[in-house]
A and B are shown apart, each in its own frame.
Chain A
Amino acid sequence: MLFSGVIYTARDQAHKRLVEAIKKHKRIPIDLKDATIYYCGPTKTPKGKVIGSCGPTTSARMDEFTPILLKAGVWGLIGKGARSAEVIKAIKKYKAAYFLTYAGCGALLAKYVKKAKPVAYKDLGPEAIYRLEVQDFPLIVGIDAKGVSIYDKE
């Protein structure tokens, strides 16, 4: 499937901070309601380009944080690789979805990004949260709202 719209990048440290903020009832820098999170830390942006190389990172490292983010309203997750049983359960519970995109193809994926802007945790460098506007971004359903995983089918 092809996705067009807004996605937010967040990886390890941004997840840690978001979850800490949720737990401590502090300000969340992005609107998590129905948001789609992309596990990605892009390269620096080359001159004249919208974004640098921007493929997915390993999703499993976010597993411990994901159920809390889904509870807070996040809908879509984009990354690479398998997820834990807890994440699958949470996806089913909150009727969310996990998608895969072409792994290790950051140069190819860059062409589907039309706008990119760091919006939070800028001190984290590549781990900051970027707001990306994407068009026809290629996705494969990894885990659907019923909790069915593509890796169980294979």
Chain B
Amino acid sequence: MKTVSADKIKDAVARLCVEANLVLRSDVLKALKTALSKEKNKRPRRILNAIIENAAIAKKEKLAICQDTGLPVVFLKIGQSVVIKGDLTAAVNKGIVEGYKRASLRNSIVPCPVTRGEPGFSPAVIHTEIVRGDKIRITVLPKGFGCENKSQLKMFKPTASDKDIKRFIIDAVKAAGPDACPPYVVGVGVGGTADYACLLAKKALLGSVIKLSAPEKELMREINKLGIGPMGLGGSATCVAVKIMTFPTHIAGLPVAVNISCHALRSASREI
């Protein structure tokens, strides 16, 4: 057994909030630079250059990459041999508030989804997974809502074809159009239940955007044929990556979820 104090988790979460919001993931930056190198036209090149410059300014000036510092989504992989001393959920949320305040991030969370109320920094959406071992892996994904609003779920018939699924994913990107800050990273979850497919689509965004499987590359090529481009003003980069996660499902169904990320795909992880 290993004991970890809730305070230590709080500190780690705070640091991860700052890191994720101020320093663009190196794989995302690399994917954007690759998109720039492949783009020939002047306008999309200028926009991609601005996006890359923005990341450099954010890092140097300690400013948020985007003013939408997201709804913090926290993934916890907790080793089954770890004993946590203190209140885990409270520690995560305290860490969020501490990190967001420290880096002057935005208080975008309203307490009631219907009546709204005064915006604050927390609570985070927390996904907990119990795994083998004695470590805790914490990942903070501040999810911007311009792109979150473009999420889609479809419960296909089990007899649906590969082609039907691809069409749905491509159409989801088409529906997002210029609104959600393209070039996108397209997260896809296939299988499980309705809720689990949505979680997989979001989790898919955590994987490397420069290491793509053959089906991911193929979907990316097809999405880029849409020509939406940076800011939706045309170009060869409508998305810089597609990431797919799958899970077994029921004989009667085939859930497919799409979770789109804007070009500012932000996350940071740490193991304690």
The chain A residues found within 8 Å of chain B, CB to CB, are: 13, 40-47, 49, 52-55, 57-60, 80-82, 100, 102-108, 110-111, 123-127, 138, 140, 150-151, 154
Contacts and interface: CB of A to CB of B under 8 A. Distances in A.
Interface in B221-249: 227, 229, 231-234
A105 to B, nearest CB: 4
B67 interface: yes
Interface string B57-87: 1100111111111000000000000000000
Contact of B106 (A58, A126, A151): A126
23 contacts: A41-B68, A41-B108, A42-B67, A43-B67, A46-B104, A49-B61, A52-B104, A53-B65, A57-B68, A57-B146, A80-B181, A104-B263, A105-B50, A106-B65, A107-B54, A107-B57, A107-B63, A107-B66, A123-B118, A125-B107, A126-B67, A126-B108, A154-B229
B50 A102 contact: yes
Contacts of B62: 46
A140 B233 contact: yes
B116 A13 contact: yes
B119 A107 contact: no
Contact of B63 (A53, A58, A103, A123): A53
A2 B109 CA distance: 33
B129 interface: no
B180 interface: yes
Contacts of B264: 104
B63 A52 contact: yes
B179 interface: yes
A104 B106 contact: no
B178 interface: yes
B119 A127 contact: yes
> Secondary structure of the B side of the interface?
loop
B178 A82 contact: yes
A140 B232 CA distance: 12
A125 B119 contact: yes
A1 B152 CA distance: 36
B262 interface: yes
A33 B106 CA distance: 30
Nearest to A42: B67
Contacts of A82: 177-179, 232
Given A46-B63, A54-B67, A125-B118, A104 B178 contact: no
B66 A150 contact: no
B54 A104 contact: yes
Contacts of B105: 43-44
B104 A44 contact: yes
Nearest to A47: B104
B5 interface: no
Contacts of A111: 57
Contacts of B227: 154
A53 B64 contact: yes
A97 B231 CA distance: 18
B34 interface: no
